[in-house]
Amino acid sequence: MNRLVHLALLSVSGLVYGCAPEASAWDAERELPALSTASPEDPFEPLPERVALDPRRVALGERLFGERLLSKRGDAACLDCHHFDHGGADRGPLSQLPGREPTALNSLSVFNLAFADRFNWNGYYRTLEAQLDAPMVNPRVMGQSLREARAALEADGRYTRDFEAAYSDGLTEANLRDAIATYERSLVTPNAPFDRYLRGERAALGDQAFQGYRLFKTYGCASCHQGRNVGGNMVQKLGVLRDYFADRGEVGPGDLGLAAITQREEDRFVFRVPSLRNVALTAPYLHDGSAATLEDAVEIMAEYQLGRFLSTEEVSAIVAFLHALTGEQPGAPR
């Protein structure tokens, strides 16, 4: 018996050692992020139909989107400035919440942010999670930090269980941030006529819109408004070729752009190039909400960014193209 044990021990040890895997060579090269389908002719790519996300976190973010406890006074929710029947943006030039000063900037859309690279009008924030601080601490908006909001939610108790279900460490500031950002990433507006066109359905753009698309590329709009979101991935000075603010007058704190945060002279009047997705729904336009209609916005852009005056036909064509950027709108939070 004893020797059997010896032999078994020996052979097993030998075997195990012999079979132990070798340290593998470099793993097969990991796949790099896929390149876009964009070409010099079509410097765009269609939006995907959906984004894969944890449904529990999305649901949690959806509830939080309408949660008034996020504001210090308990009277304002994200929904109050981001209307789902208005392309995810606010209806007025600036946002006005009860008992507060109006915001310095026009409220941007919360749609298709999963594909954006820069956030907020100043383009300073590089992630959705980071930019959440801007509306939170702004006394004209939520007026409290996310930490305070978390404490309010915890005291309220309605969210504790759902957070524990969705996150291993429950209701933390990071998880609160993540839940809201995750929900915002789920807000995609796919299948706009332009997307269908990009997928090969050439008839999806009408004649006028197609003319507008050509002008959009030819006149250089597409130099900045490009990529999946037709904008939203770089910052640019408002008034590259002409001084917009000299003509408009009354430069306020909201006009500083990126310089409001970086305090650098070269960042003055530098703003995020906004996405033009669903732009037909999100009037008024520009950071100050000064362009009431798409036509106004297109003319201002042509003049100050391109140094060009467009004819009425050209503006109409480009506006027709911009209408083709309206996709299927997501349902409002319940």
Partner 1 sequence: MKRKLSVLRIAWLAGLGALGAQWVFAERARSEAAQLTRYGAEIAVAQALDTRLHEQVLQSRQGLVTHYDDIVRSVVALDEVLAALQEPPPGLTEAHRVALREAARSAALAHREEAALVEGFKTENAVLRSSARIFPMAARQLRDELRRSQGADAGRLVNDLLVAVLQHEASPTAAHRELALEAHRAVEEAWFGAASVHDVETVLMHSEAINERVPRVAELVRELLVARSREAIATLSTRTSEAVAAEALEAERRRVAIFLSLAAVAALMLADLVQRYRSQAQHEALVARRLASANDALLREQAREKELSDLKTRFVSMTSHEFRTPLSVILSSAELLEAYGDRWTPAKRSDHFARVKGAVDTMKELLDAVLVLGKSDAGKLEFRPAPMDVSRFVHEVVDSMASTFDDAHPVELAIDEPLPEARVDEKLATHVLSNLLSNAVKYSPAGGPVELSARREGADLVLTVSDHGIGIAECDRERLFESFHRGSNVGVIPGTGLGLAVVKRAAVAHGGDVEVRSTEGEGTTFEVRLRAFDPS
Of residues 230, 239, 275, 271, the one with CA closest to residue 254: 271
Q: Which of residues 8-37 bind partner 1 (CB under 8 A)?
A: 9-10, 13-14, 17, 20, 23-27, 29-30, 32-33, 35-36
CB nearer to partner 1: give 144 or 233. 233
CB nearer to partner 1: give 65 or 219. 219
Number of amino acids touching partner 1 (CB under 8 A):
49
Contacts of 43 (CB under 8 A, 6+ apart): 217, 222, 226, 227
| Binding of partner 1 by 58 (CB under 8 A) | no
Residue from 40, 98, 99, 249 touching partner 1 (CB under 8 A): that is: 40
Residue from 61, 227, 257, 274 touching partner 1 (CB under 8 A): that is: 227
| Binding of partner 1 by 48 (CB under 8 A) | no
CB nearer to partner 1: give 228 or 323. 228
Q: Which amino acid is at 198?
A: L
Which part of the chain contacts partner 1 (CB under 8 A), choosing from 40-48, 135-143, 206-214, 319-327?
40-48
| Binding of partner 1 by 321 (CB under 8 A) | no
Q: Which of residues 98-117 bind partner 1 (CB under 8 A)?
A: 117
CB nearer to partner 1: give 151 or 234. 234
Per-residue buried b or exposed e for 285-299, using 16+ beta carbons within 10 Å of the residue's own CB: bbbbbebeebbbbbb
Two tokens at 167?
Answer: 């996150």
CB nearer to partner 1: give 72 or 225. 225
| Binding of partner 1 by 275 (CB under 8 A) | no
The rounded distance, in Å, linking the Cα atoms of 188 and 110 is 9
Contacts of 175 (CB under 8 A, 6+ apart): 163, 166, 167, 169
Whether the Cβ atoms of residue 267 and residue 274 lie closer than 8 Å to each other:
no
Q: Which of residues 281-310 bind partner 1 (CB under 8 A)?
A: 305-309
Backbone angles phi, psi at 308, to 5 degrees: -140, 140
| Binding of partner 1 by 250 (CB under 8 A) | no
| Binding of partner 1 by 202 (CB under 8 A) | no
| Binding of partner 1 by 38 (CB under 8 A) | yes
Q: How far is the CB of 27 from partner 1 (least distance, A)?
A: 4
The rounded distance, in Å, linking the Cα atoms of 97 and 64 is 18
| Binding of partner 1 by 261 (CB under 8 A) | no
Q: How far is the CB of 87 from partner 1 (least distance, A)?
A: 21
Q: Which of residues 115-174 bind partner 1 (CB under 8 A)?
A: 117
Whether the Cβ atoms of residue 315 and residue 308 lie closer than 8 Å to each other:
no
CB nearer to partner 1: give 12 or 165. 12
The rounded distance, in Å, linking the Cα atoms of 114 and 120 is 14
Alpha-helical (H) ranges within the chain are 2-19, 55-65, 128-131, 133-137, 146-156, 160-166, 173-185, 193-198, 207-218, 221-224, 244-248, 259-262, 294-306, 312-323
Q: How far is the CB of 158 from partner 1 (least distance, A)?
A: 34
Sign of CA dihedral 226, 229, 235, 239: positive
Residue from 241, 263, 264, 293 touching partner 1 (CB under 8 A): that is: 241
Of residues 200, 179, 203, 202, the one with CA closest to residue 129: 179
DSSP character string of 87-114? TTB-SSSS---TTSPPPSSPPPP-TTGG
| Binding of partner 1 by 276 (CB under 8 A) | no
Binding site for partner 1 (CB under 8 A): 2-3, 6, 9-10, 13-14, 17, 20, 23-27, 29-30, 32-33, 35-36, 38, 40, 43-45, 117, 218-224, 226-228, 233-237, 240-242, 305-309
